[in-house]
Chains A and B, each alone.
Chain A
Amino acid sequence: KNEVEQSPQNLTAQEGEFITINCSYSVGISALHWLQQHPGGGIVSLFMLSSGKKKHGRLIATINIQEKHSSLHITASHPRDSAVYICAVRSWAGGSQGNLIFGKGTKLSVKP
Chain B
Amino acid sequence: KAGVTQTPRYLIKTRGQQVTLSCSPISGHRSVSWYQQTPGQGLQFLFEYFSETQRNKGNFPGRFSGRQFSNSRSEMNVSTLELGDSALYLCASSLWGTGRPGELFFGEGSRLTVL
Contacts and interface: CB of A to CB of B under 8 A. Distances in A.
Give chain B's interface residue range (CB within 8 Å of chain A).
20 to 34
A110 interface: no
Interface string B87-100: 01010100010010
Contacts of B108: 41-42
Contact of B43 (A30, A45, A102): A102
Contact of B56 (A30, A98, A103): A98
A61 to B, nearest CB: 13
A43 B42 contact: no
Nearest to A105: B42
A99 B103 contact: no
B103 A45 contact: yes
B101 interface: yes
Interface residues of A, number: 24
Given A41-B109, A45-B104, A100-B48, 16 more contacts: A31-B101, A33-B104, A35-B106, A41-B88, A45-B105, A45-B106, A48-B103, A48-B104, A88-B43, A96-B99, A97-B55, A99-B45, A101-B45, A102-B45, A103-B42, A104-B42
15 contacts: A30-B101, A35-B104, A41-B108, A41-B111, A43-B90, A44-B106, A45-B104, A50-B101, A90-B101, A96-B99, A97-B101, A98-B56, A100-B33, A101-B45, A102-B44
